[in-house]
Amino acid sequence: MDTATYKTAVTQAFNQAAASYDRMGVEFFTPMGRRLVERVAPRPGERVLDVGCGRGACLFPAAERVGPTGRVLGVDIAEAMVAEAREAARRAGLTTVEARVMDGEHPDLPARSYDVVTGSYSVIFFPDAPAALARYAGLLADGGRLGFTSPVFTADTFPFLPPVFTELIPRELLRNLPPEWQPAELSRRFNSWLADPADLVRTLRGAGFAEVDVADEDVAMTAASGTAWVDWSHTQGMRLLWQHLPVRESAELRERLITALDAMRPGVGPLTIPVPVRYVTATVAR
Ligand SMILES: C[S@@+](CC[C@H](N)C(=O)[O-])C[C@H]1O[C@@H](n2cnc3c(N)ncnc32)[C@H](O)[C@@H]1O
């Protein structure tokens, strides 16, 4: 699969998901984005760029921190996500928040014009994220900080899914996925640099960063039921797996996941799963 085909598939998936993205009653992206912003700690008056902003999991916490004298720009390749983020900013009366359609891998923005660059669960979708990180170093002013999140990858992780869910997906159900959408192939192509903290640190140093910190912390993912989780999974990166699975396997996977997830619930109570998230922060090296 060439890069353009892959990017078009990602853009379409998130355009289709945008109306319900992070609004299905499953808690995950919002607390993760808030925690990432806490870790890079934008200060009053600073300029923040959020790449792959989605509906604004980082944008709005960042806007709170930079206050009325700062500004926050979110960019996303999916125009429907940008429309949702803009509408949320308008409703909140936040004139310091702007959202634009842009390929976050190749940001067309002035050099040294940001104090903080964030990207929560977004750089993991970039075909060449290390090259994008080097571009972010160029966008940051002296002393500028970078922060992004990713799943904590293990061998054979489905690239856009926390490992616990990969364990629940029987491999035989994935055998009819097109080869280029096989989990191992996607992970190898796009995310191998994220799996080992030592590789990550090396990659960030090579991209022009210092003081690299890699911290794995759990986000308590909650969902009302197995069905709620599976419905939600169609509104995030896992949509790419659902879209490429043949109908029979898709129906079977749905049933298997619902059963397995409901078995993890305490009686009729909601499902809570600690999901490890990798928070990476660094400072531009100059
Ligand atoms: C899992 S969502 C995360 C969104 C948001 N950061 C959050 O935490 O809720 C991934 C986002 O990355 C965006 N994305 C993927 N590839 C991108 C690219 N090349 N440039 C900009 N955005 C991209 C998707 O459209 C989607 O909105």
User: Which fold is adopted by the domain 3-153+186-222+276-284?
Assistant: Rossmann fold (3.40.50)
Atom of ligand 1 nearest to the CA of 15: 25
Q: Determine the distance separating the centroid of ligand 1 and the alpha carbon of 143, expressed in angstroms.
A: 25
Our answer on whether the CB atom of 6 is closer than 6 Å to any ligand 1 atom is no
First to last CA, the chain: 37
Atom of ligand 1 nearest to the CA of 149: 8
Secondary structure of residue 280 in the 3-state scheme: strand
Domain boundaries, the chain: 3-153+186-222+276-284
Our answer on whether the CB atom of 33 is closer than 6 Å to any ligand 1 atom is yes
How far CA 96 is from CA of 93, 99, 199, 236, 271, in Å, comes to 9, 10, 36, 27, 37
Residue-by-residue pLDDT tens, the chain, 286 positions? 889 999 999 999 999 999 999 999 899 999 999 999 999 999 999 999 999 999 999 999 999 999 999 999 999 999 999 999 999 999 999 999 999 999 999 999 999 999 999 999 999 999 999 999 999 999 999 999 999 999 887 766 666 666 677 778 888 888 888 888 887 788 777 778 888 999 999 999 999 999 999 999 999 999 999 999 999 999 998 898 899 999 999 999 999 999 999 998 988 899 998 888 999 999 999 8
